[in-house]
Chain A
Amino acid sequence: MSTPTHTESTFAVLLRDPEKAVQACLSGVGRRELARTALASFFVGTLLFGGVVGCFRGELQLLFAALKMPLLLLGAVVTTVPAIWALGATEERAWPMRSAASLMLVAAGRAALVLAALAPLLWLAMDLIGGYHLSSFLAACALGIAGLAALSVVLRGMRGMPSGTLALAGLVFGLSLLHSGWVLRPWLVRPGSPEIVFMRTERGVGALGSLVMSATRGAGDPLGYESEGAR
């Protein structure tokens, strides 16, 4: 039987058996319970990870980052679901939008569980090393690892489609995550910044350009002492 059994909890399916979770999303059997569990895991995991990211600066940023982290992933999920659905429909897979939505939700739930598991490690690393660029790099790595866990679920759901379509789906998710993160910045708050704000409102700077600039600056000064005046 391809759907979750009564003896196995939906949380266990979400955590340990992505294949069964994917089948539940596509067939609709047990989908509602699984989506509910994935949503709960999603909020708990992202709140925890967001709180740890906000610990870099502390004070009010802890609360802000914890509140914004679920919004970041939710924004990426909401913008990726229609793309995943359309890519499937283009390959003559007549799945309804709710199948694509539950698939993405399960993927995000698993990613959030991975983030929750990585949060203590990130916390320790930030406490021991403490530099701005290195901390943001480590946080990005944790998000990348969680993204891989999510991607494995999505790819299982889109099995049978051409590799170009799968690459396109991954690219759309990456772009959505990047731009959602950019809209909701700041996350760590630079040590030199005088005040903590919920969202930065200045325009004219792009996510892609800033990413390149930040990576170049971070490579030269990983701890961020010189560029951020945090000595």
Chain B
Amino acid sequence: MEVALPLVTRIPTIEPTPESPPQHSASEESSDVHLMEVSPLVAALHQTKELRGAMMRTSAGLLASLPFAMSAASRGGAHWSDLLQAVLSVPVGLALVAMVGVSASTIGVSFFAANVSPSEAIDMASRGVLRTGLILLGMAPVTLLSVLSASRLDGLLVASFVWAAAGMVGTAAISRKLVHVGRNHDGTFSLGAIGVASAFTLFAWVFGARLWFPIASIFAQTGGLP
């Protein structure tokens, strides 16, 4: 994934403002600051602004979800059309949750006097898709191992757990942002924004569970559970 440029920066987080990560030499290092090598590609995904950055993040997130979808559907015995539906349901579902859910939520928080611009909403959605996609990408190997190792029930449990964990990370990021932008003028959290964020989370979870059916049916088609 990364480009091999020996950059170093502080941990634990990237500085939010500059386009390229800051560089520190070893001599500049203080005792309480650690140096960390940085992947320019990941840094660019997080830091690039405006529409170009959002497109990069969304594309990367959707592409990153494919290995997980293929791993989860790798249990043999199902018809190819069912496999295709199962594999495509993951990125399509992610895109739908981001597009429909975030658009509706943005309109929702606007009712509570929150000033959310369309570009901010797109940025929010793209970051949610990227986070979910990265988690799914990282967990694809353990899903494949669990699906191929022994029982159908084990594989289904682990794949469902990964799907839920990724969904939790993605929805938590978007919900936090919704609550943040929907704050009152005095800086306190608005009850309305919290309500909208909760409604978005509920929608994403129910929709995510519905999208999980094609993959769960792959396990059921290979001889019944467990």
Contacts and interface: CB of A to CB of B under 8 A. Distances in A.
Contact of B151 (A95, A176, A205): A205
A171 to B, nearest CB: 8
Contact of A89 (B8, B40, B134): B134
Interface in B172-226: 226
Contacts of B99: none
B140 interface: yes
A93 B11 contact: yes
A95 B26 contact: no
Given A206-B150, A206-B153, A95 B36 contact: yes
Contact of B145 (A26, A75, A90, A94): A75
Interface size class of B (residues with CB under 8 A): 35 or more
Interface size class of A (residues with CB under 8 A): 35 or more
Q: Is the interface of A mostly helix, strand, loop or mixed?
A: helix
A83 B153 CA distance: 22
A28 B1 contact: no
Interface string A197-208: 000000111111
Given A90-B134, A95-B39, A209-B154, A79 B12 contact: no
Given A94-B43, A99-B36, A207-B151, 6 more contacts: A23-B35, A90-B134, A94-B46, A97-B1, A179-B146, A204-B151
Interface of B: 1-2, 4, 6, 8-9, 11-14, 21, 26, 29, 34-40, 42-43, 46, 131, 134-135, 137-142, 145-146, 149-151, 153-154, 157-158, 165, 169, 226
Interface of A: 1-3, 23, 26-29, 75, 78-80, 82-87, 89-99, 159-161, 168, 172, 175-176, 179-180, 182-183, 203-209
